[in-house]
Amino acid sequence: MSYQVLARKWRPQLFSQLVGQEHVVKALTNALDNERLHHAYLFTGTRGVGKTTLARIFAKSLNCEQGISATPCGVCDACREIDEGRFVDLLEVDAASRTKVDQTRELLDNVPYAPVRGRYKVYLIDEVHMFSASSFNALLKTLEEPPPHVKFILATTDPQKVPVTVLSRCLQFNLKRLSREQIGQQLRHILEQEKILFDDESLSLLARGADGSMRDGLSLLDQAIAFGAGEVKGAEVRTMIGTVGADQIYGLLDALMNQNGAELLQGVAEMTQRATDFTSATQELLAMLHQIALMQTVPGIAPDEAFDATRLQHFADGLTPEDIQLFYQIGLTGQKELHLAPDPRSGFEMLLLRMLAFRPAESAGASGGAGSAQTRRVGGAAAPSPSQPKQTATQVDPTHQSAKAKAPVADKRPAQAAAIKKADPAQWDSFVAGLKLGGIASQLAHHSVYESWDGETLCLKLDTSHRHLRVGQAESRLQEGISSQLGRAVKLKITEAVPEAETPAMRQDREQQERQREAQASMSSDPLVKEMEEHFSAKLVSDSVRPTD
């Protein structure tokens, strides 16, 4: 007897055997058991998730000689003929090979005739989105009002190309991509039933390679069995599908953790000698970083079986969550740009060197590895160590002010605080800072200057350019705020004039501009910024620098 591939041998024959499409199975099961049957169904989803299989089981449920049921017997003539693909009343059509309108009309000419053997005549049209516009138009009327003995089942991987007029005439079910766990469990079950030796690493690799498709997973499993001469082992599966060895990625992560550029480049050179696919290497590195991030976020979580839990825990302890997120983001961006590099090796090397260059200096020192005690080395160039005066983690991010820019501003408050305690209107700037006001009343105070105070009446001059602030209850609320600050009732007199002295608002604007200039100057002179400008042609965006209060 000839060999039957696993994808056909283990194709589900009942709804209960279908993996991962419970939401569709439940709806169809209830419809069959209650005989509330629509005349047209549309199954959508990526390749290999069970669209055609689901359609055949549905056709078998409709035509089983034991009666309409969600659990067909599987032994009657109708069930066996549908399983074997020779049931005369199940018409399977590949729309990709019948795109012409004449072929569609020829197909629909037989719709009025009663079924030959079964209870229903079932039209299964696969990849229906390949129909031409004329073919869809020819199908529309029949699809809307078919004879009672006809059911249409349409399947497609690209529902966006199906006209809305067709979608509106069908019950639509979207089949989900299968998870790696679902695929892995099914592959394990099949290998146990087939009595084939395997290990957990091989199942994890095959499930990942299947990319959400059970059929792809079974095809890869068939290939792995042939490659391993009847056994499925992790090392052989890794070789078969071209996945880079985990040990190589562990070595790269060790070098990143220890800030060792020489070791990092040596690891890439060894990968080149083994003819490693650097696109696959980037994907493997990203997968490992993802597992480490999960272990850091959820302590005690078990990583993927394809990875060494002990080594991943070592990296989770030795690298900060910020490091992992930074590495992942750089790797994700570098993966998209890998094909733009002069050659794959140089692109992969630059990806790793960016991880070294942009890693915050404080976390580099905290790892305690080689090269982190006094200096960080990026591709052979020494950068200032975290122990040097101006080297702080905030200097890596241009949106933060360095420690140098913060110092001059910190000591400007004590005199103001003392004046507020005295509640002296003559010290107007400090007095305004203590007023518990908001909205327009606060703006009115900030754009005025002190003129005089005789113990009963406070005279202020309002900047003429802000006379529009004297609206509504603004003046009365300001008067109430001043009275509350002084602890007694006062009179308020406001005149309008061009101020000879700075208003509180003018002073705040001036101080803010001074702090902004200091922050920009500090960032421009920062050693790490200069190094990035020199080695990576980086450019400091002045507008992105903000002083930190």
Q: What is the pLDDT of residue 350?
A: 93
Torsion over CA: 190, 196, 197, 202 (sign): negative
Q: Mark residue 380 as left, alpha or beta (left: phi above 0; alpha: psi -120 to 50; beta: remaining).
A: left
Amino acid at residue number 351: L
Total-model pTM: 0.56
Cβ within 8 Å of residue 420, ≥6 positions away: 430, 431, 433, 434
Give residue 164's pLDDT: 92
Q: Which residues contact 489 (CB under 8 A, 6 or more apart)?
A: 483
Delimiting residues of CATH 3.40.50.300 domain(s) in the chain: 6-174
Q: What pLDDT score was predicted for residue 488?
A: 82
The encoded tokens of residue 396 equal 């890596």
Pairing, β 457-463 against β 448-453: antiparallel
Which residues of the chain form CATH 3.30.300.150? 420-501
Largest CA distance in the chain: 114
State the CATH class of domain 246-379. mainly alpha
Contacts of 347 (CB under 8 A, 6+ apart): 278, 334, 337, 338, 339, 340, 341
DSSP state of 171: E
Place of tokens 């079924």: 115
Residue-wise pLDDT tens for the chain (549 aa)?
Answer: 578 889 889 999 999 999 989 999 999 999 999 989 999 999 999 999 999 999 999 999 999 999 898 999 989 999 999 988 899 999 998 888 877 888 888 888 888 989 998 899 999 999 999 988 888 888 888 888 889 999 999 999 999 999 999 999 999 999 998 988 899 999 999 999 999 999 888 888 898 888 889 999 999 999 999 988 888 988 888 778 766 667 788 889 999 998 888 999 998 998 888 777 888 889 889 989 999 999 999 888 888 776 788 888 989 988 889 899 999 999 999 998 888 999 989 999 999 999 988 877 655 555 544 334 333 444 444 443 333 433 333 343 434 443 334 444 444 434 433 433 456 777 887 888 888 777 788 888 888 888 888 888 888 888 888 888 777 788 888 888 888 888 888 888 888 888 778 888 888 888 888 888 888 888 888 888 888 877 777 787 777 777 776
- DSSP string computed for 497-542: E--SS--HHHHHHHHHHHHHHHHHHHHHH-HHHHHHHHHH-----G
pLDDT given at position 382: 40
Instruction: Specify whether the backbone of 541 is left (phi greater than 0), alpha (psi in -120 to 50) or beta.
Output: beta
Instruction: With CA atoms as reference, report the closest residue to 280 among 325, 246, 314, 328.
Output: 246
* Predicted pLDDT at 53: 93
State residue 371's pLDDT score. Answer: 39
Q: CATH 1.10.8.60 region(s) of the chain?
A: 180-241
Q: Which pLDDT score, from 0 to 100, does residue 300 have? A: 83
Record: fold of 6-174 = Rossmann fold (3.40.50)
**Which residues partner with 381 through β-bridges?**
378
Fold topology of 180-241: Helicase, Ruva Protein; domain 3 (1.10.8)
What are the start and end residues of each CATH 1.20.272.10 domain in the chain?
Answer: 246-379
pLDDT at 189: 93
Fold of 420-501: GMP Synthetase; Chain A, domain 3 (3.30.300)
Identify whether the C-beta of residue 459 lies closer than 8 Å to the C-beta of residue 432.
no
Residues linked to residue 448 through DSSP beta bridges, in sequence order: 462
* pLDDT reported for residue 520: 82
Confirm if 273 and 235 have CB atoms less than 8 A apart: no
Cα–Cα distance measured from residue 316 to residue 232, given in angstroms and rounded to the nearest whole number: 30
Whole-angstrom distance, CA of residue 398 vs CA of residue 400 = 5
